[in-house]
Amino acid sequence: LFFIYCCIERISWRLQKTKALLDHTNTLSLNLTELTDQQKEFQEVARKFAREEIVPAAPSYDKSGEYPFPLIKRAWELGLMNGHIPEDCGGMGLGIFDACLITEELAFGCTGVQTAIEANSLGQMPVIIAGNDAQKKKYLGRMTEEPLMCAYCVTEPGAGSDVAGIKTRAVKKGDEYVVNGQKMWITNGGKANWYFLLARTDPDPKCSASKAFTGFIVEADTPGVQPGRKELNMGQRCSDTRGITFEDVRIPKENVLIGEGAGFKIAMGAFDKTRPPVAAGATGLAQRALEEATKYALERKTFGKFIAEHQAVSFLLAEMAMKVELARMAYQRAAWEVDQGRRNTYYASIAKAYAGDIANQCATDAVQIFGGNGFNSEYPVEKLMRDAKIYQIYEGTAQIQRLIISREHLGKFKQ
């Protein structure tokens, strides 16, 4: 399975490498200290939008759990969303590096809003890497014409990390596939215009995962698609997460990505491009924790000094700073590698695992620095702690990342 995954990937990466990528990234060398002018400008717009529009609105969205559509619409208008969509479909064809810069800034504002936006990228990625021209024009084109959402429908109540264990069935009947099953924890589940769906097409339990699954594009208004209720989560509460039931949903064969049996590779291939932005999101949250904690530490006094002047606190801040800087470098490396057309699984997993862990550590430390105030909902840091947890769970749990990293590492070692 691992070997097949490798081979196929090389072909698909070649198909993706476009001129646009070369224009947009630091091409020959990874320069972590100096971004290009365009990257700086993009980052500036995202930063301004996040700090001026997302930050003030985030607490009320967190309380109410209301979907932040006005913010998403604004981000869409500014061009901060759907950056990966190729230029011939009306998008900007940005590389993953540029997308990560933007994601980090948006996550600084509110990771709930950022996740809602990022779910678009995750849903679109299978179409971008594996869609044919007609599919791309149809489903990616409409995303650039109006602010629509899409979703990545793979996880089920009984299968999260074990993607090969999904049970949703797709049976070919004439020119259609009939799908039955249950998906769970689908971000944008109730707001999406279309879904990328992974379903099992080969019922034979002995069939290998690389041939048993098929990727489909499903219009959300197809009869039989039933989004469940909005789930009430610990954090990122404004993001819309739902279970979705598929009951005799008919999908035309034109909506199959690549062909029957190609689904697993597509679903996994999407992750190499979406893990760096998720790591960037976690880094944005950690940066926010660091800035809030620093501001507070320079205002609050105990024992006659600003608490920042006590080594216990300044050391906490120093360690938070170390973690943020390293997480940033990690996601930038992972993003750059894939933009160069190379397989970045190793770096993407490292970045996501590390950033998820440090986001939680930094958020907890920020609450600690705020003391009693940190525990209180009038101060911004308790939300960061609640929001951070999911970064160790979605897009591949912390444990799965370690599995991938160890496999990659041992694989390299044995060569």
Binding residues: 152-161, 185-187, 300-302, 310-311, 368-372, 397-399
Q: Which residue of the set 105, 118, 292, 395 is catalytic?
A: 395
Q: Is 90 exposed, middle or buried (0-12, 13-18, 19+ CB in 10 A)?
A: middle
80 lies in the site for another protein, by CB under 8 A: yes
73 lies in the site for another protein, by CB under 8 A: no
Binding residues for FAD: 152-161, 185-187, 300-302, 310-311, 368-372, 397-399
106 lies in the site for another protein, by CB under 8 A: no
Question: Among residue numbers 38 through 57, which ones bind another protein (CB under 8 A)?
Answer: 38, 40-42, 44-45, 48-49, 51
Q: How far is the CB of 71 from another protein (least distance, A)?
A: 13
Could you tell me whether strands 192-200 and 149-153 are parallel, antiparallel, or unpaired per DSSP bridges? Answer: parallel
Give the Cβ contact number of residue 331 at 10 Å.
31
Active site residue 395: yes
Neighbouring residues of 388: CB distance < 8 A, sequence distance ≥ 6: 111, 235, 282, 285, 286, 289, 359, 360, 362, 363, 364
Spatial separation of the C-alpha atoms in residues 326 and 324, rounded to whole Å: 6
Contact region for another protein (CB under 8 A) — 77-85, 161-169, 198-206, 307-315? Answer: 77-85
Structure tokens given for 288: 């926010």
Contact in structure between 322 and 365 (CB atoms under 8 Å): no
Rg (CA), the chain: 21
Contact region for another protein (CB under 8 A) — 34-42, 236-244, 266-274, 392-400? Answer: 34-42
Return the number of the residue (10 or 48) whose C-beta is nearest another protein.
48
Return the number of the residue (155 or 287) whose C-beta is nearest another protein.
287
Q: How far is the CB of 41 from another protein (least distance, A)?
A: 5
Spatial separation of the C-alpha atoms in residues 256 and 245, rounded to whole Å: 19
Q: How far is the CB of 92 from another protein (least distance, A)?
A: 6
92 lies in the site for another protein, by CB under 8 A: yes
Contact in structure between 330 and 32 (CB atoms under 8 Å): no
Can you tell me which of 298, 318, 322, 403 binds another protein, judged by CB under 8 A? 298
Can you tell me which of 4, 8, 55, 78 binds another protein, judged by CB under 8 A? 78
Q: Is 24 exposed, middle or buried (0-12, 13-18, 19+ CB in 10 A)?
A: buried
Q: How far is the CB of 333 from another protein (least distance, A)?
A: 23
Convert 155-174 to b/e letters by CB count within 10 Å (16 or more is b): bbeebbeebeebebbbeeee
Q: How far is the CB of 144 from another protein (least distance, A)?
A: 10
- Amino acid identity of 358? I
290 lies in the site for another protein, by CB under 8 A: no
Q: Tell me how many residues contact another protein (CB under 8 A).
A: 19
DSSP state of 179: E
List the catalytic residues: 395
Contact residues for another protein, defined by CB under 8 A: 37-38, 40-42, 44-45, 48-49, 51, 77-80, 83, 92, 102, 295, 298
